[in-house]
Amino acid sequence: MDGVLADVYEQFLNYEEIETGIRQPIEDLYGKPEEIAFKNMGKYVLSKGFFRNTPVLEGSIPALYRLNKQYELFVVSAAVEFPQSMEEKYYWLCEHFSFISWEQMIFCGLKSAVKGDIMIDDHFKNLDSFDGRTILFTQPHNYGLENKNHTRVFNWQEVLDLLL
């Protein structure tokens, strides 16, 4: 969800700019883990409304709408670390992805117990434990990192080119 449907980088940059008055250039964050890129990330993700008001990642709504017609689709979010985020994420999905039903949502700790044929994710740790085909969605934290086992995409159009 984060980094694939939800544009958490935009939200982190917004929160940091409000707090510090400085907006980091996105290029400065390439290859850095999120918790290194954003010093106060831990505080931001615990803020009420952080996840409920995260911008939607460009192109994700029409892409998911089309994929949902052709595939048995689940939205999986490693959300349990921040339990207050689960309800926010649920309502965020209801608002922006109204064609995704509650039956299709999974809020988990680790994603290692999720099965499926294809996983689209921005984190190696999630893709590495998946049994099926894996698509790495490019985000600043994984930008430029060596990637042997997963198909890298840079945007939702590339996902559609692969899967439709």
Nearer to a copy of itself, 8 or 105 (CB): 105
Report in angstroms the alpha-carbon separations of 18 from 5, 28, 93. 23, 19, 25
Nearest approach, Cβ of 106 to a copy of itself (angstroms)?
A: 4
Nearest approach, Cβ of 121 to a copy of itself (angstroms)?
A: 14
By CB under 8 A, name the binding residues for a copy of itself: 74, 76, 80-81, 83-84, 86-87, 90-91, 101-110, 113-116, 131
Nearer to a copy of itself, 67 or 108 (CB): 108
Nearer to a copy of itself, 94 or 164 (CB): 94
> What amino acid occupies position 12?
F
Nearest approach, Cβ of 98 to a copy of itself (angstroms)?
A: 15
Nearest approach, Cβ of 155 to a copy of itself (angstroms)?
A: 25
Q: Could you tell me the two tokens for 18? A: 């409000």
Count of CB atoms situated within 10 Å of the CB of 22: 8
Nearer to a copy of itself, 95 or 161 (CB): 95
The Cα–Cα gap between 17 and 134 comes to 34
The Cα–Cα gap between 95 and 6 comes to 12
Nearer to a copy of itself, 99 or 154 (CB): 99
The Cα–Cα gap between 103 and 68 comes to 13
> What amino acid occupies position 89?
K
Taking a C-beta distance cutoff of 8 angstroms, is the pair 134, 127 a contact?
A: yes
Nearest approach, Cβ of 87 to a copy of itself (angstroms)?
A: 5
